[in-house]
Amino acid sequence: GDKVIVFSDLVYSLKMYADMLKRPLIYGETPERERQAILGTFRSTDAVRTICISKVGDTSIDLPEANVIIQVSSHFGSRRQEAQRLGRILRPKSYTQTDGSNRSSFNAFFYTLVSTDTQEMFYSAKRQQYLIDQGYTFKIVTNLSERADMEAKINNYIYSTPEKDRSLLRILLTSDTEMEKEQRQEDTAIRKSNADGAALADAGVKRTAGSTMAQLSGGSGMRYREIG
C-alpha cells in the first residue's frame, strides 16, 4: 500500500526509467494540466501508486500522501535538497496509525542509491552527516545488487538479467549530448515555473565518474539506504 516517489535530477535517465516501469512522469516541461492530473490521481486513488519526478518537485510539488522516496541521482553534496525531499514524506498523513501511546507513528522511508568506489560516495557521506545532525538515522544495506537480482528473476521483472542491465547502463553512459540537451531544457523550464526556480536550476548536476563498469553501476559492493 505504499505511495512511492522516484526522484532523479537527470531528466534523460528519468524518462527512461518512467518508460521502462510504465509510470507517470513529471519534469520541468510537463504541461500544468497533465501535472495536476497525475498528482490528483496519485493523491486520491490507488490507480497511481508510483510517480517519477525530476528536481522540479523539490519546490513546486507537495505530496504528503507519499511515504517512500527512491532517489536515483542527486546533486553532489546538496543537503538542502535532501532535506526538502525528506520533508515530502515526513509530514502527517491521513492514514498514519499510532504506536499505542496516541502518538502518530510515521511509516516513511527514504532510499538513495549510491555507486561504490566513486566520488558519489564522498558527497553522500556529507549529506548523511547533515541528516544525522538533524536527528535522522540511516542504515547501510549490503549485497543489495545480489538481493535485487534474485527478486527480479523470481518475479520476472524488467531488466532481470545481467545482459539487460549492461545494455541499459551503456545507453545511460554514452548519451552525453542528449543528456546535456535535456538538462538545459529542464533548467530553463524550472527557472520559469516558480520563484525558487533559478536557484534550483543553477544547482549543477555532475555525472558520476568511475574507472570500471562495476564501479559505475555499484554492482561490486554495497549501497546506502537512508531512512527517516
- Tens digits of residue pLDDT in 36-52: 999 999 999 999 999 99
For cell 524518462, the residue is 15
Name the pTM for this structure: 0.68
Report the SS3 class of residue 75: coil
Domains annotated for the chain, with CATH where assigned, are 4-227 (3.40.50.300)
Condensed to tens digits (0 to 9), the pLDDT of residues 62-93 reads: 787 888 889 887 655 466 677 777 766 665 55
C-alpha cell at 205: 548536476
Instruction: Pick 53 or 1 by higher pLDDT.
Output: 53
What is the predicted pLDDT for the residue at 192?
79
Q: Taking 60 as the threshold, does the pLDDT of residue 8 lie above it?
A: yes
Average pLDDT over residues 98-112: 63
For cell 512522469, the residue is 25
Q: Taking 60 as the threshold, does the pLDDT of residue 206 lie above it?
A: no
Say if CB 14 and CB 172 are below 8 A apart: no
Looking at this protein, which amino acid is placed at residue 27?
Y
